[in-house]
Amino acid sequence: MSSENKMWDEAKSQYLHQVEKALASVKNSRKKEVLDDVRSHLERRFGELRLEQQSWENIQKIITDMGPPTDYAELMDTEEKPEKEKLSLSFVGAAIIIFAIIAGLMIIFPLIYKPVDKQEFGITDFDAAVKDFNIRPYVEGGLYSAIVTIVNKGTKTLPKFRLNFYRGEPSENLNLHGKTQTGSHGAGPIETDEVWRESSSPFALNEGLNVISVVLDIDNTVKEADESNNSAELKILVENGKVIEQSPFHPTETNK
């Protein structure tokens, strides 16, 4: 084993240990899946380096680009909340409160309504957009990774948000392996005019037509000036195990 590979194994193991330690504080059934995805992402990034690029500086850049290990715990912590925390009121009590609010709004809304100036309320400060979306062969033969390039077209730094890759229409909620979607990817923060590239885990293409999609901000936590540029799809035609045609990505409209 070369000295570069030893350095990489040491840096990777240390980072994975820190991620595992951070995830230990979160009650979530998908912790192992997230850890495996982080490990796969690390291996892909290192595998993309040519031999002469496998320096300590580039190894550290890969680790830095992955973000603080605590970020994965924070994303999962906000993902699932116990149902008992959500239902603090009885059904009857909640219904009464909702009815009272609606009745009040019906009375006062016509009196106070005026068109909202998006610039005044800062809504145009954020705008995440799909700049590029494609696939590339994975280091292991026969597999591919989907890669999305996200650009911040807004005037303020985009906060962290979640995204997902899908096989077929996002409404079908299938991951790239054709199974029900259970995981997600994280992105951000992203400075104005800067980009963020996120890769999927390795997957296989089927014979015939393959439709691969991506959707940004799947929780709709970032209020943007333009929500129509948050998704895109690729169409890839495979014959005899080879990609013979791939359409340029095009934006799609997705109800999130």
The CATH code of the domain that includes 154 is: 2.60.40.10
Three-class SS of residue 140? coil
Tell me if 185 sits within 8 A of 179, measured CB to CB: no
Query: Is 155 in the same domain as 231?
Result: yes
Q: HEC profile for 178-225?
A: CCECCCCEEECCECCCCEEEEECCCECCCCEEEEEEEECCCCCCCCCC
Question: Count of residues for the chain?
Answer: 256
Q: What are phi and psi of 11, to 5 degrees?
A: -65, -40
Three-class SS of residue 148? strand
pLDDT at 122: 46
Q: What is the pLDDT of residues 148-193, one digit of tens each?
A: 999 999 999 999 999 999 999 999 999 999 999 988 999 999 999 9
pLDDT at 120: 42
Distance CA 9, CA 94 (A): 54
Q: Is residue 115 part of a domain?
A: no
Domain end point (choices 51, 77, 103): 77
Q: Is residue 226 part of a domain?
A: yes
Say which residue the tokens 């690729």 belong to.
234
Distance CA 210, CA 73 (A): 33
Distance CA 204, CA 209 (A): 13
Tell me if 208 sits within 8 A of 238, measured CB to CB: yes
Q: Is residue 138 part of a domain?
A: yes
Q: Is residue 16 part of a domain?
A: yes
pLDDT at 56: 82
CA-angle at 42, arms to 36 and 44, nearest 5°: 105
pLDDT at 166: 96
185-187 vs 161-167, strand pairing mode: antiparallel
C-alpha pair distances (Å), 253 with each of 101, 110, 188, 227: 32, 32, 22, 8
Query: Is 32 in the same domain as 146?
Result: no
Q: Is residue 89 part of a domain?
A: no
pLDDT at 68: 82
Three-class SS of residue 230? coil
pLDDT at 228: 87
Query: Is 129 in the same domain as 33?
Result: no
pLDDT at 84: 42
pLDDT at 101: 76
- The number of distinct structural domains making up the chain is 2
Domain end point (choices 77, 101, 134): 77
Domain, as residue range, for 215: 123-251
Q: Is residue 256 part of a domain?
A: no
pLDDT at 167: 96
pLDDT at 159: 93
DSSP 49: S
Residue type, 135: I
Residue ranges, the chain, pLDDT below 70: 1, 75-96, 99-100, 103-124, 140, 253-256
